[in-house]
Structure 1
């Protein structure tokens, strides 16, 4: 009740505050935390095995088998028709790459994006992997994208706003000559695959929804070497950079804690 009264002050100032349904209970948070830790463990498994000569279809099988062994299910499989248990996005692919017989080769960079459903709770994370020796440009992009993720996460704290996350990410990417994708962003997660709020990764400070303890959402900046613009391929999912430049993305599920942030997939 005390928090509700506090939030009313923000509402009177015209600031968007989260609906009560976006504030998770302790039991829900514990369920989400278990799912997030499962996602982390499967990404660790991928990290141990991934190398040149591995197909993205093999990665899909690893993920599906590991989830099944844990009594869990891949959120992406059959989600609005998506045909696989994981997204694998290589080089110029920004997101939603569909696993296939294509084999990874030396110099590729690839994002592996996993969302587990465990006991009805969702845990979402992705990592970049560099295959063998990659170009200096690719290495810098992957590193800067990771820095953007953590600079955004630093802004996750009670009564900051989503715009504070966005501003930190965009400023860092731009400082290094890169752009931040605008068509996609983070999202609420935990009880469903995609919930409110939408977490954009570009824009001004002091804007967007207020952050309140026990909100759970993803931070997942997609950073491009060239333009932030993108285009979708004919498969209806795979999204690439409009200029075919490289793209990199890292993602964590986070919870706004009482005095800061819990990175639930770390």
Structure 2
């Protein structure tokens, strides 16, 4: 993993947990979902994946656990989390007390234990994308459902954050097909309504406190540059946040 990605997904993850815990429980979900999808996008995935409280669910590449905690609050499911970065693993336990294992693309599970797997904003951060999709398929039971949030390239990119490889939509569909998965629903993350004002306020408060505490730290500046590049690409339409459900 590059230094840039280590700063973003490990160091800043730990700082985010510190800030959210200091601000209070009402800030935890907005803090934990930074960069992982809006409430509208997460609800769309939960509905299309038909997640229920009795499902066994894996969040692969869970970060600090915000989307998994959102799923738990919405439908009563209790997801298992996997996450390669130790700082993010600890943050997920501290913020949401969810079960988490430290693991990258090779998942430490037997074949077929999960009814539902989702992986949000992860595919573009790994070099062996076919290997990751195959692993996600392997841990699904027969008939299980997979949900992805993928940042797909809509054109030839002139810049991208260090360590990222954004697939085209055609490449994404090919990866899923090669793994024996069939897309049943897809949508654009940009089509959903903005997050509720209180959610936006909480996220802004977390961001401001992170900036106040760590704005002079090189790791914070690196992570901000990374997210800034993605923001520019999304604003220009060169990247598109794409939601996919497959079986």
Q: If each structure's helix is expressed as a fraction of its own residues, which one has the higher value?
A: 2
TM-score normalized by the length of structure 2: 0.33
TM-score normalized by the length of structure 1: 0.31
Q: If each structure's strand is expressed as a fraction of its own residues, which one has the higher value?
A: 1
